[in-house]
Amino acid sequence: MKGSPIVDVHAHVTPRRFQEAVLSGRDWHGMTCEDGELDNPKNRWAPERRIEEMDELGVDAQLVSPTDCFYQYDKAPGVTVAIAVECNDEIVEIVRAHPRRFMGLGTLPMQDIGLTVAEMERGMRLGLRGFMIDDHVNGRTYDDPGFEPLWEAAERHHAFLLIHQYGPTTVWHRTPNYFLPNSVGNLVDRTLTFGCLVFGGVMDRHPRLRVCLAHAGGYVPYAVDRMDRGWDAFPKYRGKALDRPSTYLSRFLYDTTAFTDRNLRFLVDAVGVENVILGTDWPAPMAVEDPVRKIRESKVLTDSEREAILRGNVARVLGKAA
């Protein structure tokens, strides 16, 4: 796969439609300046300025998604769908203006499954590669059978699903302090989502579903051994899963937001190198710095592993959706 592009699958966009409204003092579907993290100047960069930084970082293309604050699942469904349509249209416009530098993920009005499937079909028709969704929908986790039409539609349309939290994470309810709701909470939420998709039988019912667990899968690689032990010790809690949790590790994809060589190696060993793809969380303050160089110069990866993580795996994963 040498020569295929280096793609950052975890990179966010703050839609210009939102910015123009809130910066001129208006609200945008009920959202205000407070919602957009506009104090981060990179959230206001035009695509051309992003490309300059991508060139500096050695990133050929970004798989861009609206920032998590645009989920807005707790609004009336009609409002959320209006937000999703505008976000998704803007992502499509960015991709069409720079087709070699950007690919797109949209957002969905997840509190209404009918509207969600319709917007998924519309977005995929317009050229999106998939969608970014939260770890839960107003508290409902993905073992809920109500989400079945979403998984069916995602399989049918080869939609790539990036699972990514929005605050407050589960940890916030224990403590809102010390940035723990993000630094720990994001990883806890991702681990719960893995558990709900596996034990809920979603991964068994939908073998072609492509789900990427952002933030390097959270604590999944570490937590799965205890999930296996629970599977062995307490058969009554196996839910709908057909096999031990660790057998599902290779059914998911994981980005490289792992920060250290130690964690990256652990991730690769746990889930298989073929399931790890470059993802940085650009332009968040918590993004991985100089991510391509970090992989290229990593002393814990072989040459073929570096090539797979930077190029080969993402070409395989997104290729089908092209």
Binding residues for Zn ion, rule: CB under 5 A, are 281
Rounded to whole angstroms, the Cα distance separating 308 from 322 reads: 19
Residue 192: CB minimum distance to Zn ion, A: 17
CB atoms within 10 A of CB 237: 10
Nearer to Zn ion, 90 or 307 (CB): 90
* 283 prior amide bond cis, ω within 30: yes
Least distance from Zn ion to the Cβ atom of residue 163, Å: 11
Q: Which is nearer to Zn ion, 71 or 147 (CB)?
A: 71
Give me the least distance between CB of 28 and Zn ion, in Å please: 21
Cα 60 to its chain centre, rounded Å, is 19
Closest distance of CB 4 from Zn ion, Å: 24
Residue 282 C-beta: closest distance to Zn ion, Å: 8
68 vs 307, beta carbon nearer Zn ion: 68
The minimum distance between CB 53 and Zn ion, in angstroms, equals 16
* E strand map for the chain: 7-13, 61-66, 102-106, 130-133, 160-163, 210-213, 252-255, 276-277
Closest to Zn ion by CB, 143 or 281: 281
> Residue 290: what are its φ and ψ, rounded to 5°?
45, 55
Length of the chain as a residue count: 322
d(CA 285, CA 20): 23
Nearer to Zn ion, 281 or 305 (CB): 281
**Nearest distance, CB of residue 57 and Zn ion, angstroms:** 16
Q: Nearer to Zn ion by C-beta: 181 or 200?
A: 181
Q: Decide if 254 contacts 267 (C-beta within 8 A).
A: yes
**Do 117 and 150 contact (CB within 8 A), yes or no?**
yes
Which single residue brings its beta carbon nearest to Zn ion? 281
Instruction: Classify each residue of 178-215 as buried b or exposed e, where b means 16 or more C-beta atoms within 10 Å of its C-beta.
Output: eeebbebbbbbbbbbbbbbbbbbbbbeebeebbbbbbb
Residue with smaller CB distance to Zn ion, 83 or 113: 83
